[in-house]
């Protein structure tokens, strides 16, 4: 006999499910969305958001599942994000564990689970709205710690792109080996470390060309290019014109 998750009706717009087994569909609000919190006591805890769930089976493998009416999400949070998987940050993991492993006295347990379910919903939407959650691929190939290190690598590129950064240097600074950094960066950001660094440098170079009077060759050097020819080629591929042409256009517009 298939086991059914425990549940509590939070309101006519929301039901909270937890524990092993399947998610029962009885009493679901109409036109619902699902927030599923899986592997919350492991290294690869995940949040899955289903904006248009086909059936309750999509939450069967999770530890905690919130079923919420779409209209309530629109009213409370102003929108509904696209479906996706993300690594679960510690703040949300703790709330989900508080629902799954509630240790309150019997007479207070339902009330505490109800309150924590509301808090978990609000915090999850706050994190989704900020857009800072790290996307996970499949069942999660990165631990939360490694995902945080990948995010640190991206911040390092964004903040220190003027320096002579190498893959090995970025990996050492973030506490990863170069292979894990390369694989993880591509998984999370859908690009390579080298391409992300080149993109940031070229955007910086474009800004300097448009806002300073520095020679183009000096700008290229300051942006990490060892010679003007390689800088001009990369700039032209990215923006469809050489940096000297952009400088000329800026001068014409100013005149």
- Predicted confidence band of residue 244 (pLDDT cuts 50, 70, 90): very high
- How buried is residue 168: exposed, middle or buried, by Cβ count under 10 Å (0-12/13-18/19+)? exposed
What confidence tens digit (pLDDT) does each residue in 62-102 have? 999 999 999 999 999 999 988 888 888 888 989 999 999 98
C-beta of residue 172 within 8 angstroms of C-beta of residue 210: no
**Is pLDDT above 60 for 116?**
yes
What digits encode the pLDDT tens for the residues 18-74? 999 888 888 888 899 999 999 888 767 889 999 887 665 667 789 999 999 999 999
Confirm if 37 and 61 have CB atoms less than 8 A apart: no
Distance of CA 203 to the CA centre of its chain: 23
68 touches 13 (CB < 8 A): yes
- Tell me the CATH number of domain 201-254, given options 1.10.10.60, 3.50.50.60, 2.60.40.10, 1.10.10.10: 1.10.10.60
Residue 139 has pLDDT above 50, yes or no: no
Whether the full predicted model's pTM is greater than 0.85, yes or no, is no
Of the chain, the percentage scoring pLDDT greater than 70 comes to 92
pLDDT for 204-243, tens place per residue? 999 999 999 999 999 999 998 888 999 999 999 999 999 9
Q: What is the model's pLDDT at position 231?
A: 94
Residues linked to residue 87 through DSSP beta bridges, in sequence order:
46
Sheet holding 64-69, edge to edge: 6-11, 14-18, 64-69, 32-38, 46-50, 84-87
């Amino acid at each position: 006999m298939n086991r059914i998750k425990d549940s509590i009706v939070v309101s006519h717009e929301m039901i909270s499910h937890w524990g092993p087994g399947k998610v029962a569909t009885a009493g679901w609000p109409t036109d619902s969305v699902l927030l599923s919190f899986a592997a919350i006591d492991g290294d690869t805890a995940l949040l899955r958001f289903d904006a248009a769930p086909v059936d309750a089976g999509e939450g069967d493998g999770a530890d905690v599942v919130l079923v919420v009416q779409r209209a309530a999400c629109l009213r409370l949070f102003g929108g509904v994000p696209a479906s996706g998987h993300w690594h679960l940050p510690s703040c949300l993991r703790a709330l989900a564990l508080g629902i799954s492993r509630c240790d309150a006295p019997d007479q207070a347990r339902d009330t505490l689970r109800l309150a924590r379910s509301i808090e978990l919903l609000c915090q999850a939407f706050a994190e989704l709205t900020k857009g800072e959650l790290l996307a996970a691929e499949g069942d999660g190939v990165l631990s939360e710690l490694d995902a945080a290190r990948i995010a640190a690598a991206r911040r390092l590129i964004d903040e220190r792109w003027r320096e002579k950064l190498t893959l090995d240097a970025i990996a050492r600074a973030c506490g990863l080996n170069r292979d894990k950094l390369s694989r993880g960066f591509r998984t999370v950001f859908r690009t390579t470390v080298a391409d992300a660094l080149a993109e940031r440098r070229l955007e910086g170079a474009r800004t300097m060309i448009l806002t300073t009077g520095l020679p183009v060759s000096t700008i290229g050097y300051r942006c990490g290019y060892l010679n003007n020819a390689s800088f001009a080629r990369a700039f032209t591929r990215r923006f469809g014109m050489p940096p000297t042409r952009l400088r000329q256009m800026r001068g014409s517009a100013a005149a």
